[in-house]
Amino acid sequence: MTLGVFVGTFFSFLLGIFNPYVVNKAGPDWLWGGGRDDIVRNIYFKPNGSFRRYGRPALVATLCFGAIALHWLLQRI
């Protein structure tokens, strides 16, 4: 059940990022451990929730490279 909650939250976040009608791309504040002052949130998003200049490509690259690194690690086990 916990896995389902994590997967659902993750895909909801991804769909919100690419939906042009969603103004606050960062999602709700509870999604981030530190709220609006979260360090990781501030790398990709402005305080109002919109992306920084290269925030969207950086976030997509982080997610893709993270998945690739996880796959690589699991292949080595």
* Half-sphere exposure for 17 (CA within 13 Å, toward CB): 18
Report the alpha-carbon distance of residue 68 to residue 66 in Å, rounded.
5
Specify the pTM: 0.70
Task: Note the pLDDT of residue 57.
Answer: 92
Q: Residue 21 pLDDT more than 80? A: yes
Phi, psi of 9 (to 5 degrees): -65, -40
pLDDT in tens, 23-69: 788 877 777 888 888 888 898 999 888 889 998 899 889 989 999 99
Residue 26, Cβ neighbours under 10 Å: how many?
24
Domain range list for the chain: 2-76
User: Looking at residue 68, what is its pLDDT?
Assistant: 95
